[in-house]
Amino acid sequence: MAAHPDTYPAAPPQASAGDKSAPHPASGCGAPVVRAEAGVAAGSDSAAAPLARASADYLDYLRVERGLAENTVTSYARDLRTYLAFLAERGIAEPDGVTRADVEAFAAERRAGGYASSSVERALSAVKGFHRFMVAEGITRAHPTVAVKLPKKEERLPDYLSVAQVERLLDQPFAPTALGERDHAVLEVLYGCGLRVSELCGLTLRDLYLDEEFLRVVGKGSKERLVPIAGSARRALEGYLDGARAELAAHARRAAPTAAVFLNKNGSRISRQAVHALCEKYGRLAGIEGLHPHTLRHTFATHMLAGGADLRVLQEILGHASISTTQVYTHVDRTQLREVYLAAHPRA
């Protein structure tokens, strides 16, 4: 498909995973702004205002100065609201009044509530960062979390699909409608490019360089990277853009059309929730229960590594800040090798 001069730039930008840009118009994929909800105190008690104000400032710092994704800031805001409510129940209203025992009691309550260690770790990470921020800003001299250690992460390999399962998922019949073509393109791009669901939702027409077989993707922290797209993923996306997208865009309720690539039935940008739902739907039709968009990202990485992709190249494509995050897929590949060995060796 030839590039449309009115929607696609003539050549892809020179970007890398380490580049930072101005906030992308699609970043956050429709996530709510956190400032208003961050200021909600643990209760209506006005005495809790100093901690609530500090938490709002901290979230603004994460968003503006650290450049964290809106979805990440939203998660931190949720954890801090829970933390402030916990402190209010213990009668703690001032930053100076928080002790290490309070923080450890908060963590213990989360564990007792049945939360996964990853959820407890995220909540504690938000709390530690919050107290570190208050000390750095001179709001308090108390640093109750300085000696609090994060819980050890569970060693868990990512879920992924076999090649046969991927073929069942992507080769199944899709309805010959605009939504059917869109759904097929969504699944092909998730698996074919290894995108996060928020990255897929955030794609705009100006991010497509299909003649050069690249997508410009805005990932965590508004960092841009170029991701290859070829084969069936490119064909499915081109097929959707050639007709189905325009059909969906015609249903838009506002005069100015959206530049989003993937649209819902009302002509607006597709939501993360809608992508989750269509993954579950088509996964179930292919005999794969509970299919999650991130499973397709894991599957992309696992199959790339099994096919001989260099770990550093894979890190760049996935947009991982640290190579250690990408290395988890080497463990998956070793598991595959062991299974083949046990099945094939006569004395294994």
SS3 per residue for the chain: CCCCCCCCCCCCCCCCCCCECCCCCCCCCCCCCCHHHHCCCCCCCHHHHHHHHHHHHHHHHHHHCCCCCHHHHHHHHHHHHHHHHHHHHCCCCCHHHCCHHHHHHHHHHHHHCCCCHHHHHHHHHHHHHHHHHHHHCCCCCCCCCCCCCCCCCCCCCCCCCCHHHHHHHHHCCCCCCHHHHHHHHHHHHHHHHCCCHHHHHHCEHHHEECCCCEEEEECHHHEEEEEECCHHHHHHHHHHHHHHHHHHHCCCCCCCCCCECCECCCCCECCHHHHHHHHHHHHHHCCCCCCCHHHHHHHHHHHHHHCCCCHHHHHHHHCCCCHHHHCHHHHHHHHHHHHHHHHHCCCC
Residues 87 and 102: their CA atoms lie apart, in Å, by 8
- Do residues 198 and 294 touch, judged by C-beta distance below 8 A? no
Residue 320 bears catalytic tag = yes
Strand pairing of 224-228 and 214-218?
Answer: antiparallel
- Rounded to 5°, the CA angle 267-63-227 comes to 55
Residue 149 bears catalytic tag = no
Residue 297 bears catalytic tag = yes
Q: Which of 24, 81, 276, 294 is catalytic?
A: 294
Q: Which of 220, 235, 276, 292 is catalytic?
A: 220
- Rounded to 5°, the CA angle 25-29-32 comes to 95
Residue 334 bears catalytic tag = no
Q: Which of 128, 196, 234, 272 is catalytic?
A: 196
Q: Which of 63, 225, 245, 297 is catalytic?
A: 297
Residue 329 bears catalytic tag = yes
Residue 168 bears catalytic tag = no
Q: Which residues are catalytic?
A: 196, 220, 294, 297, 320, 329
